[in-house]
Amino acid sequence: MPETHAVAALAAALGARFEGDGDIRVGGLVHPAAATPDALVMASSPDFLKRIVPGTARAALVAEGADWRAAGLEAAILAPRPRYAMAHVTRAFDAPDALAPGIHPSAAVEPGAEIGEGTRIGPFVHVAAGARIGADSRLYAHVSVGEGATLGAGALVHAGARIASRVTVGARAVIHQNAVIGADGFSFVTPDAGAVEAARAGGGSESAAQNLALARIHSLAAVTLGDDVEIGAGTTIDRGTLRDTRIGSGTKIDNLVQIGHNVSIGGLCMLCAQVGVAGSAEIGDRVVLGGKVGVADHVRIGSDVLVAAASAVASNVKGRSIVMGVPAVPRDEAVRSVMALRRLPRLMQTVDALKKRLSSMDSDG
Amino acid sequence: MPETHAVAALAAALGARFEGDGDIRVGGLVHPAAATPDALVMASSPDFLKRIVPGTARAALVAEGADWRAAGLEAAILAPRPRYAMAHVTRAFDAPDALAPGIHPSAAVEPGAEIGEGTRIGPFVHVAAGARIGADSRLYAHVSVGEGATLGAGALVHAGARIASRVTVGARAVIHQNAVIGADGFSFVTPDAGAVEAARAGGGSESAAQNLALARIHSLAAVTLGDDVEIGAGTTIDRGTLRDTRIGSGTKIDNLVQIGHNVSIGGLCMLCAQVGVAGSAEIGDRVVLGGKVGVADHVRIGSDVLVAAASAVASNVKGRSIVMGVPAVPRDEAVRSVMALRRLPRLMQTVDALKKRLSSMDSDG
Amino acid sequence: MPETHAVAALAAALGARFEGDGDIRVGGLVHPAAATPDALVMASSPDFLKRIVPGTARAALVAEGADWRAAGLEAAILAPRPRYAMAHVTRAFDAPDALAPGIHPSAAVEPGAEIGEGTRIGPFVHVAAGARIGADSRLYAHVSVGEGATLGAGALVHAGARIASRVTVGARAVIHQNAVIGADGFSFVTPDAGAVEAARAGGGSESAAQNLALARIHSLAAVTLGDDVEIGAGTTIDRGTLRDTRIGSGTKIDNLVQIGHNVSIGGLCMLCAQVGVAGSAEIGDRVVLGGKVGVADHVRIGSDVLVAAASAVASNVKGRSIVMGVPAVPRDEAVRSVMALRRLPRLMQTVDALKKRLSSMDSDG
């Protein structure tokens, strides 16, 4: 159970003002519909404030200037940007799942592995020889850490995550359930130029070569993640061929994302669920890829680019662009295409009508 | 090995008629090409019936009115809707994988966890403190059940599935291998309005803001699944921020599907493989999402909606609609657009010709 | 640590020529930027050769005819197709992760399971009764092998992979972390014709039926993989209903791919990451599906077909075709559509102008 906080103390921690009775203690953050006297109500808009049934709550988190007294409350924290305040309040009320100190008796930590001070290792965790795990980390049930892998301090690794051999993870990583860091890259080559090479070299709709054999290019390198990286559940990140696949510090990756071999991603990026980045793509800093976005191999995306959900990036994108579509183009162009396509059936009727009129003019003439 | 059934008894269980020798016993359901005398042949159409080599089979499941004697059979179950009958027959011939009664000696069930009567716990399963698992459930190898999670009676949880802390699962759930119920939501906020907010607020193809920091909004709530829910292999369902992510009773979810935080999905829905539903989307009852469909955050989809495979739903959809495309629009409109796009190159030639004719008329005049 | 090789021996193993001092020993393959005297530098193009700082390296893998001496090297392996040579060289320098011989004391191998000679079983691996694992295989931590499953010799199964009951895997398989072979198919049927059947039968944008109940069709069959198959991390392959789902020999499947029930895929195919193949689809030999490609249920794709990334295949594709788009059409047609769509806004202006001119001609006349 998370502890309770006084409204005044919470406000101070947020760097926000409070009004009313700052001594009221709250033990959680709730929606107006679930209001209780011992929880802070999240009422970021006047509309949410109105939904609080008077008498059900004592304190709320509201926007600067909100009339919280009208909602029958006794105190309020006034935030200039309530959504940002929510980050701090939810952290205050969150607590990691229980995990006993030390190494669970069922875990298998191999000789030669180094476990940092204060680190907790859950049931059935396997840590291979030569792995090093920083201080104050938590590895929950069924996690595996491969030979020679390194995790920084303060890592939170959820059940079933796989950190493969020689992978490097920075400090304060959050790695969710069943994520896989460091699978082999998907890299095969044909003895002679194969079907894909032939298709890229020439045009047409018929394949000019056959893949009669596939030889595997082994992945000799690993994966390096910076500090404060978050990796979603079921996400897979492949190791590089000769140099590590790299994810920069502060980058957050959602669930079921695929990162191919040799990819390089900068810092503070956000990759939403089911994104796929093909081998050797290079992505700058602070890039946002919406859900289900695909990035083709070897493509370069500059810093501060936004790619709308469900887009497919097939060629380089310069920094600060907003792109969308399949294939992705600048947003204005994509919007124009969608609008034009919607009016296309009517355009066809117009052209038909013009044709007829012209024909009748011809025959008139 | 599944047991054998007499044709007459199987027919009675299906509420269907049989003809011929009802005492013939069959021990499985097979394709015409794999017919054997001791299995029921699935011959739902006259075409399938013809493929039975006479003498290879004794009994078949056929459509009402089929001429089964001509196929050399001795008995037939006649179903008005053979595909529906198949549900019952395959269930009769299915048997869950072996699992010894009780708790496997290698499992780790923590003090304070409650295990229902008749429930079987496989090797290396971890059940955390405060978890409650209903009667007659089966948890196969390597499953983890978090602190305070609840599973209803009759659950079938396959190898490596992760049920995170405080998640609630109804009765008779089927959760497939390596599914993750209750990972943290993907929710980050910038101190000032960030790049995504700026892009949503304004138009244009250039980003007007930078994400210079990302603060994490913690997920304080969990996930609630109704009764008779099925969750596919590798599927991930994120926990809610302040209220649980919810999946209604009878809803079936295929493999590698992503359900974001705060999402609410009604009952009896079908979500095909690789669907992604972004945070806070609301989906009604009996909705079908085809494979790879994406649903944007906060979108509302009414009941009885069908979304064709590979579509992206970017705005609200009213009940009973059939929509498709990227972005998804009503089916008729989508079909018109695809057809029009196909004729577009010719339209361009037509317009060119018109232009020339008009120019020549001008010069004629 | 991988062993070192003499340049002459490496060249001989590749069937390639070398020049210079063949006795130089190298212990790895590196990029020009990471050149060291004890590693072979990968310098497949003149551009890469130029990037070698003289004195940092002694030997390189170069293309036939390259001027390797100008880069200050003492030896070179000259390959007619350096990328193909890379397959052999990376294999020579790769070494599987350490795994102690025999069965790890924490593993659970049930009575009646057969383990081949030389096979190594890692920590927390579960092998169910009746499973048979060929010789010289490696099962890493947390793998589960179901009742009656069969693996050929020389299998490499990475941490957390799930091989379900009765699945058959050929020789030399590579199965990556958290892959799931043999989950149940996603197959449900309504008592009367349901919403999807009604939508397929008729047109329009309104649903003509409701799915008031969903009955499960159980998967009685399993999955069969040929020899030399590779399955990516987090990939899921469903078991068949009456006959096995099949993947032919030599086919390579990337991460997070979904293969539905009853699907049949030929040999030497390549399925890139996040591909989804719906139930009962049939795919020939040597087919390449780019990343995120979707294939609809029951569709047939001939041999030697290439499908571009992010395409959706909704109808049959004949052999040797190159197709792309949503829905996928022959490449030439898709390219024409994309080009035409891009010029569509201008076409609309042209038609407007024509209309006005015609109107003015009318009023002139």
Q: Picking from A1-5, B54-58, C266-270, which range would have the lowest pLDDT averaged per residue? A: A1-5
Q: How far is CA C260 from CA B233, B273, B283, C189, in A?
A: 11, 8, 24, 16
Query: What is the spatial distance between Cα A236 and Cα A246, in angstroms, rounded to a whole number?
Result: 13
State whether B18 and B124 are in the same domain.
Answer: no
Answer with the one of C69, C93, C117 that is the final residue of a domain: C93
Would you call B242 and A30 a contact, using CB atoms and an 8 Å cutoff? yes
Q: Is residue C132 part of a domain?
A: yes
Would you call C220 and B94 a contact, using CB atoms and an 8 Å cutoff? yes
Contact list in A for residue C304 (CB cut-off 8 A) is 195, 207, 210
State whether C226 and C131 are in the same domain.
Answer: yes
Would you call B323 and C220 a contact, using CB atoms and an 8 Å cutoff? no
Query: CATH number for the domain including C84?
Result: 3.40.1390.10
Query: What is the spatial distance between Cα B244 and Cα B266, in angstroms, rounded to a whole number?
Result: 14
Over residues B218-277, the pLDDT tens digits come to 999 999 999 999 999 999 999 999 999 999 999 999 999 999 999 999 999 999 999 999
Query: CATH number for the domain including C147?
Result: 2.160.10.10
Q: What percent of chain B has pLDDT over 70?
A: 99
What does the buried/exposed string (b/e) look like for A80-94 if buried means 16 or more CB atoms within 10 Å of the residue's CB? ebbbbbbbbbbebbb
Q: Is residue A156 part of a domain?
A: yes
Q: In the beta sheet, which residues pair with residue B145?
A: B127, B163
Would you say C175 and C152 are in contact if contact means Cβ atoms under 8 Å apart?
no
Contact list in B for residue A83 (CB cut-off 8 A) is 189, 217
Q: Which of B255, B354, B365 faces C258 most closely, judged by CB atoms?
A: B255
**Distance in Å, alpha carbon of C297 to nearest chain A alpha carbon:** 21
Would you call A177 and B160 a contact, using CB atoms and an 8 Å cutoff? no
- State which H helix or E strand residue B91 sits in: helix B82-93
For residue B197, give both structure tokens.
């907010």
Answer with the one of A48, A65, A93 that is the final residue of a domain: A93
Q: Which of A140, A144, A165, A167 is nearest to A155 (CA)?
A: A140
For residue C294, give both structure tokens.
């979707």
B214 touches C: beta carbon within 8 Å = no
Residue of B nearest to A32 (CA): B242
Q: Is residue A282 part of a domain?
A: no
Contact list in C for residue A207 (CB cut-off 8 A) is 304-306, 320-322
Q: ipTM strictly over 0.85?
A: yes
State whether B14 and B125 are in the same domain.
Answer: no
Contact list in A for residue B294 (CB cut-off 8 A) is 274, 291-292, 309-310
State whether A11 and A61 are in the same domain.
Answer: yes
State whether A124 and A226 are in the same domain.
Answer: yes
Q: How many CB atoms lie within 10 A of CB A327?
A: 16
Q: How high is the pLDDT of residue B170? A: 98
Contact list in A for residue B292 (CB cut-off 8 A) is 292
Q: Is residue B59 part of a domain?
A: yes
Contact list in A for residue B192 (CB cut-off 8 A) is 81
Strands (E), B122-205: 126-127, 132-133, 138-139, 144-145, 150-151, 156-157, 162-163, 168-169, 174-175, 180-183, 188-189
Q: Which of A139, A164, A149, A137 is nearest to A113 (CA)?
A: A149
Domain total in chain B: 2
Q: In the beta sheet, which residues pair with residue A30?
A: A41
Secondary structure (3-state) at C31: coil
Would you call A309 and B278 a contact, using CB atoms and an 8 Å cutoff? yes
Q: Supply the mean pLDDT for chain A.
A: 95
Q: How high is the pLDDT of residue C2? A: 61
For residue B70, give both structure tokens.
């001509």
- Indicate which of B126, B275, B286 best probes the interface with C, i.e. most C CBs within 10 Å of its own CB: B286
* Helix and strand numbers, DSSP H then E, in chain A: 5, 39
Q: Which of B199, B238, B294 faces A310 most closely, judged by CB atoms?
A: B294
Q: Which of B128, C150, C102 is nearest to A142 (CA)?
A: B128
C274 touches A: beta carbon within 8 Å = yes
Residue of C nearest to B305 (CA): C207
Would you say B240 and C172 are in contact if contact means Cβ atoms under 8 Å apart?
no
Q: Is residue A305 part of a domain?
A: no
A183 touches C: beta carbon within 8 Å = yes
What does the buried/exposed string (b/e) look like for B163-177 if buried means 16 or more CB atoms within 10 Å of the residue's CB? bbbbbbbbbbbbbbb
Q: Picking from A177-191, A290-304, C267-281, C347-361, which range would have the lowest pLDDT averaged per residue? A: C347-361
**From A5, A142, A158, A261, active-site residue:** A261
B162 touches A: beta carbon within 8 Å = yes
What does the buried/exposed string (b/e) look like for C186-206 if buried means 16 or more CB atoms within 10 Å of the residue's CB? bbbbbeebbbbbbbeeeeebb
Contact list in C for residue A343 (CB cut-off 8 A) is 348
State whether B137 and B176 are in the same domain.
Answer: yes
For residue C199, give both structure tokens.
């939508």
- Whether the CA torsion B186, B187, B192, B196 is positive or negative: it is positive
Q: Which of C152, C115, C320, C162 is nearest to C227 (CA)?
A: C152
In degrees and rounded to multiples of 5, residue C356 shows phi and psi of -65, -45
Tell me the mean pLDDT in the region B190-211. Answer: 92
Side-chain-side CA neighbours of C238 within 13 Å: the count stands at: 31
Contact list in A for residue C33 (CB cut-off 8 A) is 243
Query: What is the spatial distance between Cα A270 and Cα A252, in angstroms, rounded to a whole number?
Result: 5
Q: How high is the pLDDT of residue A235? A: 98
A window 70-99, beta carbon within 8 A of C: none
**Distance in Å, alpha carbon of A190 to nearest chain C alpha carbon:** 7
**Distance in Å, alpha carbon of A211 to nearest chain C alpha carbon:** 6
Answer with the one of A31, A63, A93 that is the final residue of a domain: A93
Tell me the mean pLDDT in the region B289-303. Answer: 98
What would the DSSP string read from start to end of C292-341?
A: T-EE-TT-EE-TT-EE-TT-EE-S-B-TTBEEETTTTEEHHHHHHHHHHH
- Please state whether beta strands C150-151 and A312-313 pair in parallel, antiparallel, or not at all (unpaired): unpaired
Boundaries of domain holding A114: 103-184+222-230+245-252
Would you call B341 and C336 a contact, using CB atoms and an 8 Å cutoff? no
| C273: Cβ contacts below 8 Å, ≥ 6 apart | A186, A236, A258, A260, A276, A278, C232, C254, C255, C256, C257, C291, C292
Return the CA Rg of chain B. 28
Would you call C165 and B97 a contact, using CB atoms and an 8 Å cutoff? yes
Residue A2 has pLDDT above 70, yes or no: no
State whether A173 and A145 are in the same domain.
Answer: yes
Q: Which of C238, C60, C8 is nearest to B273 (CA)?
A: C238
Q: How many CB atoms lie within 10 A of CB B47?
A: 9
Would you call B332 and C274 a contact, using CB atoms and an 8 Å cutoff? no
For residue A26, give both structure tokens.
């709250």
State whether C9 and C88 are in the same domain.
Answer: yes
Q: Which of A144, A180, A312 faces C233 most closely, judged by CB atoms?
A: A180
Would you say A6 and A25 are in contact if contact means Cβ atoms under 8 Å apart?
yes
Q: Is residue B143 part of a domain?
A: yes
Query: What is the spatial distance between Cα B103 and Cα B116, in angstroms, rounded to a whole number?
Result: 11
Single-letter amino acid code for the residue at B67: D
Over residues A201-250, the pLDDT tens digits come to 988 999 999 999 999 999 999 999 999 999 999 999 999 999 999 999 99
* pLDDT tier at B355, thresholds 50, 70, 90: confident
Q: Is residue C237 part of a domain?
A: no
Q: Which of A165, A189, A220 faces C84 most closely, judged by CB atoms?
A: A189
Q: How high is the pLDDT of residue C359? A: 83
Residue A1 has pLDDT above 90, yes or no: no
B142 touches A: beta carbon within 8 Å = yes
State whether B67 and B135 are in the same domain.
Answer: no
Burial label for C86, CB within 10 Å (0-12, 13-18, 19+), is buried
Alpha-carbon A90 to chain mean position: 19
| B113: Cβ contacts below 8 Å, ≥ 6 apart | B127, B128, B129, B130, B131, B132, B133, B145
Residues of C recognised as catalytic: 261
A142 touches B: beta carbon within 8 Å = yes
Alpha-carbon B191 to chain mean position: 38
Q: How high is the pLDDT of residue A364? A: 64
Chains with ≥3 CB–CB distances under 8 Å to B: A, C
Q: Which of A30, A233, A270 faces B188 most closely, judged by CB atoms?
A: A270
Would you say B13 and B88 are in contact if contact means Cβ atoms under 8 Å apart?
yes
State whether B12 and B54 are in the same domain.
Answer: yes
Q: How high is the pLDDT of residue B2? A: 61
Low-confidence ranges of chain C (pLDDT < 50): none
pTM of the model: 0.96
Q: Which of A126, A206, A326 faces C320 most closely, judged by CB atoms?
A: A206
Q: How high is the pLDDT of residue C364? A: 64
C280 touches A: beta carbon within 8 Å = no
* pLDDT tier at B345, thresholds 50, 70, 90: confident
Q: Which of C155, C152, C167, C161 is nearest to C244 (CA)?
A: C167
State whether B84 and B165 are in the same domain.
Answer: no
- Indicate which of C143, C211, C239 best probes the interface with B, i.e. most B CBs within 10 Å of its own CB: C211
Would you say B348 and C347 are in contact if contact means Cβ atoms under 8 Å apart?
yes
Would you call C309 and A278 a contact, using CB atoms and an 8 Å cutoff? yes
DSSP C80: S
Q: How high is the pLDDT of residue A3? A: 82
What would the DSSP string read from start to end of A241-307?
A: SSS-EEE-TT-EE-TT-EE-TT-EE-SS-EE-TT-EE-TT-EE-SS-EE-TT-EE-TT-EE-TT-EE
State whether B12 and B82 are in the same domain.
Answer: yes
Segments in C6-143 forming alpha helices (H): 7-14, 46-50, 82-93
Over residues C115-163, the pLDDT tens digits come to 999 999 999 999 999 999 999 999 999 999 999 999 999 999 999 999 9
Residue A275 has pLDDT above 90, yes or no: yes
Could you tell me what percentage of chain C is helix, strand and coil, using 3-state DSSP and rounding each to the nearest 5? 20, 25, 55
- Cα–Cα–Cα angle for B47, C215, B299, rounded to 5 degrees: 110
Query: What is the spatial distance between Cα B263 and Cα A276, in angstroms, rounded to a whole number?
Result: 23
- Whether the CA torsion B105, B106, B112, B113 is positive or negative: it is negative
**Which CB contacts under 8 angstroms, 24+ apart, belong to C55-59?**
C57/C32, C58/C21, C58/C24, C58/C26, C59/C7, C59/C20, C59/C21, C59/C24, C59/C26
Residue of B nearest to A304 (CA): B210
Q: Is residue A324 part of a domain?
A: no
Q: Which of A190, A171, A189, A169 is nearest to A180 (CA)?
A: A169
